Structure 1
């Protein structure tokens, strides 16, 4: 539905946008996370200062560094008597630029056991912004990870609008309140969509009342519908899969998103929204 847009999948821990958009990877860029310790055993005098100083038990009795436990703090390098330890830059994942039937997509893959997802999200956003400006795209759509942790903060930074998708469950209501606190703190306009509103209409009404009290628009209420799973099995979007009450609701929701973006009077020509 979006025209002239770049899409960024910022859920780097568990990316899933590729399941629907079937991207063809055009570029791959190595992502370097935090440095890791490396011990030169030929220079090492086996003083064991490094092992005794490591708070993460990342160095074993053979003075081998466990790369999954190492937090890159550098204390081992600092206490080494023989200059046998260096902090080495390590590849922690990859950033991809891909072509899809809906436009350019930027996504990433974080390595197993890596803990720099917030930094990788920033790399995805930096690359997607660069592409959008280079190609004169009008819109950058970022798919955010759930929650309110570092990856979410990295995702919403610089956004002109946040579309917060919640569900009428206790956990969904709790997370909605937390995410709204984040968007309010960063002064990012936000609107809300209640997904599967009909599985608990009492809770949906509670969400609507909560948003009304805070002057937050509930831009859409989407019903539970079997076509969601069926579309995923066919590796396509709901809009492309079939015309039904859910797909029509999504189209109406997108209309509200476009309307909200049009209200924003930003100096830049590039609008960015976070979902």
Structure 2
């Protein structure tokens, strides 16, 4: 009888310790703030919030999924479509006469978790790619006309632009640290848009040779984010690697990224779909745990 009682007591203690360890690993955040652009906010992914509507902030974006999974004490999502690093510190005008307050204003001294996904809109980097490259495909479908378009005297001007984005990320992380010195800060990278191999011009209308270049542009941007995180006492969350096989060309509902056709009931063109947000959230949660 005593042995049985002892075993039960030991067993109960083990369960309590395991539960406590799991809870400490996955919860306990007092105030979580999400900062970022449209790859964070999730335009057109149902259901859209109205504060303001022009930010395209979804209740199913990855910060919302992460906050729910962690059961955070308080959650503030100020991500906004079209935001670049300057919009972290200044009001951002958005469509439909809305204004998103400076994102950094959401940070508090007691904020203990911050995710930030930004940089792709600086110097109109992302917009220039998706508005220019599809129009150049007909001129050389199997070549790399977009890469050539952005080359000046043999210099890849897109790569140069990414080099100028890095200091902006450094400054942003410094500002986050000033406002929330005790926070765990995660810099969330961008998932892949183009496949590692193959093409799907009906979905992603870049010239065949520009697929590899687009992948390199994303890798360079993510590397800039990773370097900034390492320099700014933050953690980089790689979503490019985990999104292999979930690019815009992926079939059977496995794509994390929408293609060229905007769907106002699902996702903006060239942006994450709901499944993509869930995928990124899983990567972020894994990093936190």
- Tell me if both proteins adopt one fold, taking TM over 0.5 as the criterion: no
Greater percentage in helix: 2
Query: Which is higher, the Rg of structure 1 or of structure 2?
Result: 1
Greater percentage in strand: 1
